[in-house]
Amino acid sequence: MTLFRYAQDYYGAWLPVQLLPQTAALILWLAVLFIGLHLLRRSRGEPVSNAQDHEAFPQATHVQNYTLGQRLYHWGNFISLAVLALSGMALFVPRSLRSFSYSWLLIHEVFAALFIAGLILHVLAATVRGQPASMWFDKRDWNDVRLILANFFGRTSNYPRFGKYDPLQKLFHALLAALSTGLIFSGIFLWLSTENLATFSHEWLRWQRLVHDLSSFLLIAFVLGHFYFGVIRINWPNLVAISVGKLTTKYFRRRHSQQRWDPERLERPPD
């Protein structure tokens, strides 16, 4: 099976120069296959956390989950990625999408700049004002991953409680960061070359195209999975929280652990 489009170099060797559209489609279909398998497995009911934990502040009504800045970044990032995916598809398969008043290349470059600026602000805000430790893996997270997999494959009915983020969300965040790094790094060199601002060797640009293509479609596949987990019924409270910022205490007690969450974020009702 051929995954890349090949071309001859100066010495006559055939080298991969671009991801084939069929390969890109395969990556996306694998994401759809995973979604289908997960839907089939969980069609008989979603797992419920059964690990023992102290009752989380019985007088609290809601848990503050996302700040306004986090919510704005999340939805702004979603819009940027959607436009980048659309414009990138138009560039990846020329004449596949009808152009607007502006070229797809210009649209792609503008939203790439917005994506990079938003990412930099997000990193700075998370480092200075956020809780970066809430996204770090620890020993308990690896144990949770093993328990989640054992539950998914029917080996146990046990299911863990989580802190603010479960280990799969942390893995997704790490993969998103890695793929975004590859996209930005390769995209900058391709942009400099396209705009005739710098000159690079054919070999270097060939690798940047491959990295950009592969990172792009892997990122789209992971975002599709993220979107799926965001809209399934069990995660509706999280979907509401990313819009209004708060989880209900009832949902918190079903899925999360007070001991692994920042208790200062629990809001008490007014007297």
CB contact set of 228 (below 8 Å; sequence gap of 6+): 35, 38
Model pLDDT, residue 234:
87
Domain assignment present for 256: no
E-strand spans in the chain?
A: 4-8, 14-19, 62-64, 246-248, 266-267
Domain assignment present for 257: no
The DSSP element (H or E) to which 216 belongs, if any, is helix 202-231
Residue range(s) defining the domain that contains residue 174: 4-60+69-235
Q: pLDDT category, 271, cuts 50, 70, 90? A: very low
The CATH number given to whatever domain includes residue 77 is 1.20.950.20
Domain assignment present for 106: yes
The domain total for the chain is 1
Domain assignment present for 33: yes
Domain assignment present for 250: no
Residue predicted with more confidence, 11 or 108: 108
Residue predicted with more confidence, 63 or 19: 19
The DSSP element (H or E) to which 255 belongs, if any, is helix 249-255
Span 2-13, average pLDDT? 84
Domain assignment present for 270: no
Model pLDDT, residue 263:
46
Model pLDDT, residue 56:
55
pLDDT tens digits, residue range 168-194?
999 999 999 999 999 999 999 999 999
Does pTM top 0.85 for this prediction?
yes
Domain assignment present for 263: no
Domain assignment present for 140: yes
